[in-house]
Structure 1
Amino acid sequence: MTTTTDQLRAVRITTRTLGHIHIDGRDTVTSIQNAVGCRTFDVVSVDGGIDFFVDDEGAINGSSFNLPLTVLAHVLGVRAALFGNAVILGSNDETGDTISLTEEQVQRITAAASEKPSPVVLDQLTETLAAHPAALAIIAGL
């Protein structure tokens, strides 16, 4: 994971909060591990050069279902049930490098996280969460 600056602009999303943070570009792996709260993470790439760094074992290690993150993933084009905390960073699609989020990406993430999901997204969430009955019950109120 190569980076070009010392501080990468990122968004951290938990089950309850969305906040702006910086990731140490000199040691992105450790910095992401600390921000997510895990030893191993996976990358979920969504539309627009945006990557979600999520707890790779979140669904099996007792991490809480992350409804805001799951909804955000669906709004941004990826159907996934996500657990635990996440760090959202930019991605250079040509090189694969992890980079800072642009102002436009931050605005897109913030807007998508604050809006009520569309009926299409709610239908997709229902399909995705069919295997997770407790999580499915949570979205019934959306």
Structure 2
Amino acid sequence: QFSHRHRCASSSREQPIFSARAHVFQIDPATKRNWIPASKHAVTVSFFYDANRNVYRIISVGGTKAIINCTITPSMTFTKTSQKFGQWADSRANTVYGLGFATEQQLHQVNKSNVNKGTDEYRTLGN
């Protein structure tokens, strides 16, 4: 799904698991409470698996800018906070990302995709 200009975002060793369009948010670093949109519109968020390194990555590019380039680590927890929204903390980027999907099924696919095998857990809150 990535055009030639996005190839630098993922190496040839990485296999795409799935892609979905989502609204990407980052937590406001000042308040640690409010969400700030990372893009004006829904963007493609792609989930990759690198078999050589046994790691998962989440990548999203808006225009020419990487919005998310996150390696999933065992200490991360992807938390479903509503029917169509999930979030996780990326300590390397020192931020919390949020993904708002158009459908509950798209969010459910994050769990089904095995991305969470890279994390200790997948939690569901507030159903």
Q: Same fold (TM over 0.5)?
A: no
Structure 1 or 2: larger helix share?
1
Report the structure number with the largest CA radius of gyration.
1
Give the number of the structure whose residues are more often strand, by fraction: 2
TM-score, structure 1 as length reference? 0.24
TM-score w.r.t. structure 2 length? 0.25
